[in-house]
Structure 1
Amino acid sequence: MKKQLFAFLSIISLTASAQPVLETGAQKPMPETWIDASTKHTVVRLTNKPGANASFYFHNNPFVGNKMVFYSTDSINGKQLYTVDLTTRKMEQLTHQSAPMTGEIVSAKGHNVYYQIKDSVFVTNIDTKQTKGVFVFPAGFKAGITTVNADETLLAGAYSTDAEKEILKNNPEKHDFFEKIYEARLPRTLFVIDINSKQLRRLFTDSAWLNHVQFSTTDANLLMFCHEGPWHKVDRIWTIDVRHADKSNARLMHTRTMEMEIAGHEWFSPDGKTIWFDWQLPRGSNFYVGGVNVKTLEEKKYNLQRNEWSIHFTISPDQKLFAGDGGDPSQVAKAPDGQWIYLFTPEGDHFKAEKLVNMKHHNYKLEPNVHFSPDGKWIIFRANFEGQEQAYAVKI
């Protein structure tokens, strides 16, 4: 596999001079491969199939070996899951469901992808394409899964009430429902599902808006969740050991220390030792990527400039580099020139930033959600600068 990937990258390098140098998104369609005129980095469209195609949310792992799972929305039955081989760019369809599906949960351990159709959870094996049922939610507990643990024994998620679902139904835009749900203080319940025994276990219920549920990348019993809401009003980032789960065992990872401080869009490091997050002291003024040790609560932070702030950040597999997806002037940083895919190198207490892709033709209502490729040599993101949502990779 490594030899194949090296060969692919070598071909890209050798043929780079033959690729057109273009302003990204200035023409529709773009070629399959081009060199960004602003940054001189090679950009490749990964999803060369009709219709709109989307890569995963920033903290959801999409990779099994050298394949990336993505979803396509060109089916009459809603989105379906596919894989793309990052070496050959060959695509394969994983699911052929006849009803709309939700979820983007990949287990690299078992080469499986989990998803949900109405009240039923399914799993499809990426190698064999075999699909089977996993769990059906009981009538009084219609919930959704969002994460799988490191040894692929548990799924987890948060249950919301019908009253909350009604707020979402009547206020579909985030700027409409966000404050309403936070202020409603409706109960939410964290839960896990044992994949083997098919048993649901409630962890605890709270009037906090429990959300952003993620299992540790390495510790099969450590679950992270957040108190959702306006970030300057909440101590957001929490963990719990699901073996001893009740509200009293939840542990706050970061406590705000000043008025209007915010911390959020948290994710686990590849080794599971650190939770990283977007940290602003205070909101919209001073920008950092912060990290907290999950055992000692020791913190570190890297400063970045206003234009370098990103909606989402991520870290490379070797944990030496970071990346960000930028943001437009309407967002929290109010950045006048922030519409870039960024590569960040830690230097002391700050990031050294490099621009990888000019995103000025991208509508940031669609968040790009960056991922490092498994070999750490590419940044994968989604964008709509060709008119439809597609997944792309830019060479570091």
Structure 2
Amino acid sequence: MTTGTRRMALKGFLAGASALSLSMTQASAQTAATSAAPAKPAGPAPKDWIDPKTGHRILRLSDEAGSGVLYFYRHAYTPEGDLMVIKSPSGIVTVRLADWKTSVLVRGKENDLLFMMRTTREAVYAVTDPGAGEAEDRPKTLYAIHVDTKKVRKLGRIASGRVTASNADDSLLLGQVAYGAKPLQPKDSASIEKFGQAEYAALGPDGKPLNFARAKGVRMWERWSQRVPAELFVIDLKTGARKVIYNTEEWIGHAQFSPTDPNLIRFCMEGPWHRVDRIKLINADGTNLRSVHTRTMNMEIWGHEFFSHDGKWLWYDLQTPRGQVFWVAGLELATGKRVWKRVEQNHWGVHFNVAHDNVTFASDGGDLDMVAHAPDGKWISLLQGETIVDADLDGYDDSLITIEKFKGTRLVDMGAHDYRLEPNLRFTPDGKWIVFVSNMHGDNHVYAVEVKPTRAPVKG
């Protein structure tokens, strides 16, 4: 696409965004008139309570306001599944899952928690060199700390970019870098501190502020249109060698290793979802680059991809088309078999995740500004497959897409949650709890909801 064409397209996008923003604002006003969102409870966030609307027990795990969790697919548990790592203003914190006891592992806000290693009881974190400009553009030193002994070892150093994962045998680190990319929202540290992402403020063609969802679309479009050099790279932890495995001018994001195959990498092409070929697979040596999904209709979108814990499936949010029909779609990596699990509108989520049984899923919900199609979608929900009882299973062809559907069960009322903060939910290894971050009581805190209900919910 030429520069002139991109400019014309951007003007068209802004106009469309403004019109869509107006329709969503009108829808918001109409919904608010009939079912206003509940106010945040007064006083400090409770430590232990039963959600009256769902009957499920919720615990506050974090002690400090401003705490948070890793992005929904980043590895957060020890190999034994007894400890989880979270973020706090004091530094990096461990949570013992047997009794939810917390302990500061690394003090200092400058220690940026990245992920847990797969085979050792070590948390990986980065310390960015001080200086002007964006943190992504500055050098970083990478460390690993043992959660029991607190012994620290230096893993390496990168000149710019970020490291997002280690592979299944912890022999490689995976990273990405873009050279000269414009920040999504310059000098926006306050919003990043509070919500984990930029404010994405933007004006429409009429000069009026766009709502968050439309403004984010504008900023994402601008960043996608830049066409700056980018690399996907690996670092050999034995030799320290850095190897670029993929070069592009597209916007690379969400780079992760398979949890079980040390040579398989999944990453995405960031940008407007209806325009990009979003999900890619590549081998750790840079070979066998391939796409995961093929668009068959206008405005078909897919993304927020994640592996099953056994590494056999790759799952992702699929909408056919955007905002109308919702699926959690899966690709069985060994066979190419595809399964699409239908999600009802009000059980759609900003992110989905899967339990360690690789069968049970969950959704973290979304609000009206983000999903005008889901006026009652602000819930943490459990998603379980419904058995097909009337299908002629003998006639199934695994070369075709298999259609299934989810039955949703609401676990947490997120009516007071501001979805600029993404809940980033994950199951505990035993599947009994779902951990997430929320500002439903004002400050950001880490919570866990018990999957099994404590009592029947209040009706009405």
TM above 0.5: yes
Amino acid in structure 1 at the alignment position of 2:85: V
Please report the RMSD computed on the Cα atoms of aligned residues, expressed in angstroms.
Answer: 1.8
Match of 1:355, SS? strand
Match of 1:231, SS? coil
Contact 1:369 1:382 in 2 (8 A): yes
Task: For structure 1, list consecutive stretches of 5 or more residues without a partner in the other structure.
Answer: 1-22
Match of 2:144, SS? strand
d(CA) in 1 for partners of 2:278, 2:291: 8
Contact 1:24 1:36 in 2 (8 A): no
d(CA) in 1 for partners of 2:48, 2:103: 21
Higher strand share: 1
User: Shift in Å at residue 299 of structure 1?
Assistant: 1.2
d(CA) in 2 for partners of 1:350, 1:170: 44
User: Shift in Å at residue 165 of structure 1?
Assistant: 4.5
Q: 1:37 aligns with which of 52, 56, 68?
A: 52
Q: Which moved more, 1:278-287 or 1:198-207?
A: 198-207
Normalised to the residue count of structure 2, the TM-score between the two structures is: 0.75
2:164 maps to which residue? Answer: 146
Query: Is residue 2:313 matched to residue 1:297?
Result: no
Contact 1:313 1:323 in 2 (8 A): yes
Amino acid in structure 1 at the alignment position of 2:434: I
Query: Is residue 2:220 matched to residue 1:178?
Result: yes
2:115 maps to which residue? Answer: 105
Query: Is residue 2:419 matched to residue 1:364?
Result: yes
1:51 maps to which residue? Answer: 65
Q: Deviations over 1:102-152 (max 9, x none)?
A: 342111410111111122111111111111211122xxx412101111111
Contact 1:52 1:389 in 2 (8 A): yes
d(CA) in 2 for partners of 1:32, 1:170: 35
Contact 2:326 2:342 in 1 (8 A): yes
Q: 1:86 aligns with which of 66, 72, 97?
A: 97
Contact 1:307 1:333 in 2 (8 A): no
d(CA) in 2 for partners of 1:151, 1:345: 31
Amino acid in structure 2 at the alignment position of 1:56: L
Alignment of 1:156-171 (within 5 A): 156-161=174-179, 163-166=180-183, 169=186
Q: 2:297 aligns with which of 247, 251, 258?
A: 258
d(CA) in 2 for partners of 1:314, 1:24: 28
d(CA) in 2 for partners of 1:242, 1:168: 32
C-alpha change, 1:55 and 1:209, in structure 2 (3 Å) is same
For this pair of structures, how many residues does the alignment match? 360
User: Shift in Å at residue 25 of structure 1?
Assistant: 5.0
Amino acid in structure 2 at the alignment position of 1:82: V
d(CA) in 2 for partners of 1:63, 1:346: 26
Percent identical pairs in the alignment equals 38
Which protein, 1 or 2, shows the higher relative CO under an 8 Å CA cutoff with sep ≥ 6?
2
Amino acid in structure 2 at the alignment position of 1:72: S
1:67 maps to which residue? Answer: 83
d(CA) in 2 for partners of 1:187, 1:386: 42
1:321 maps to which residue? Answer: 360
Query: Is residue 2:283 matched to residue 1:241?
Result: yes
Amino acid in structure 2 at the alignment position of 1:59: Y
C-alpha change, 1:262 and 1:167, in structure 2 (3 Å) is closer
d(CA) in 2 for partners of 1:328, 1:51: 23
User: Shift in Å at residue 50 of structure 1?
Assistant: 2.9
Contact 2:165 2:255 in 1 (8 A): yes
d(CA) in 1 for partners of 2:353, 2:267: 18
d(CA) in 2 for partners of 1:104, 1:367: 17
> Which structure is larger by alpha-carbon Rg, 1 or 2?
2
Contact 1:35 1:41 in 2 (8 A): yes
Amino acid in structure 1 at the alignment position of 2:147: I
- Runs of 4+ in structure 1 deviating by more than 4 angstroms, as ranges, are 165-168
Match of 1:260, SS? coil
